[in-house]
């Protein structure tokens, strides 16, 4: 049986990734990024979730990351139960799609890391998450009131995915560069 992930490293990766997501979100959206009623608040919620998922994958606990995503989806669904079936189903589908996407981003991150890519994974995290948000937008559009609102949601989700993914990716890469030992013969 293998040893579990190192908890301090998981916590540091999760915290720094989430902080960078929020910081980048604050730069792009201003104080709206910190208002829970607005979609931009996902820089906090999805930023923390993505940071934890990638950290868990890097720490060798992919099953735990999948359980975390499932718990997040159930919690999000529970918050909309009193708001009508359309909104509950739309958010549930959105959470399942985004959650599955986050688990796959964690897998891709880990595979790139195992292939020896020491830096640059964070640059693809944003476009990957934007693609996940793009795929999840039709589920969110079930609750849209007009086609123009659905289109605004699509474009907004693409930008939001890039902001969150690049913020988290930058944060985790900073931690990885600080924690990893330098190769033999590398300058100090």
Contact 26, 38 (CB under 8 A): no
pTM: 0.83
What's residue 105's pLDDT? Answer: 92
Residues with Cβ within 8 Å of residue 157, at least 6 apart in sequence: 39, 130, 133, 134, 136, 137, 140
**Stretch 119-147: mean pLDDT:** 82
Instruction: Compute the mean pLDDT over every residue in the chain, rounded to the nearest whole number.
Output: 84
| Chain segment 42-58, per-residue pLDDT in tens | 889 889 999 999 999 88
Q: Encode burial over 120-147: b for 16+ CB neighbours within 10 A, e otherwise.
A: ebbebbbebbbbbbbbbbbbbbebbeee
What's residue 181's pLDDT? Answer: 67
| Chain segment 149-188, per-residue pLDDT in tens | 778 888 888 898 999 999 999 999 888 888 776 666 555 4
What's residue 186's pLDDT? Answer: 53
CA dist list (Å): 86 to 41, 79, 89, 146, 172: 22, 13, 5, 14, 36
What's residue 5's pLDDT? Answer: 60
- With bands split at pLDDT 50, 70 and 90, how would you rate the model's confidence at 15? very high
| Chain segment 83-123, per-residue pLDDT in tens | 777 777 888 888 889 999 999 999 998 888 888 777 888 88
What's residue 1's pLDDT? Answer: 42
């Amino acid at each position: 049986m293998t040893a579990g992930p190192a908890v301090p490293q998981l916590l540091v990766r999760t915290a720094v990734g989430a902080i960078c997501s929020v910081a980048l979100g604050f730069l792009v959206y201003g104080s709206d990024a910190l208002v829970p009623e607005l979609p931009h608040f996902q820089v906090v919620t999805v930023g923390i979730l993505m940071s934890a998922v990638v950290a868990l994958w890097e720490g060798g606990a992919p099953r735990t990351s999948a359980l975390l995503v499932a718990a997040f989806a159930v919690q999000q669904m529970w918050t909309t139960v009193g708001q009508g079936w359309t909104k509950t189903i739309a958010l549930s589908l959105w959470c399942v799609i985004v959650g599955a996407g986050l688990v796959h981003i964690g897998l891709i991150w880990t595979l790139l890391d195992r292939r020896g890519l020491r830096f640059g994974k964070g640059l693809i995290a944003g476009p990957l998450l934007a693609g996940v948000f793009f795929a999840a937008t039709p589920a969110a559009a079930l609750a849209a009131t007009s086609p123009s609102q659905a289109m605004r949601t699509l474009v907004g989700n693409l930008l939001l995915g890039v902001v969150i993914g690049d913020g988290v990716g930058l944060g985790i890469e900073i931690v990885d560069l600080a924690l990893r030992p330098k190769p033999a013969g590398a300058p100090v």
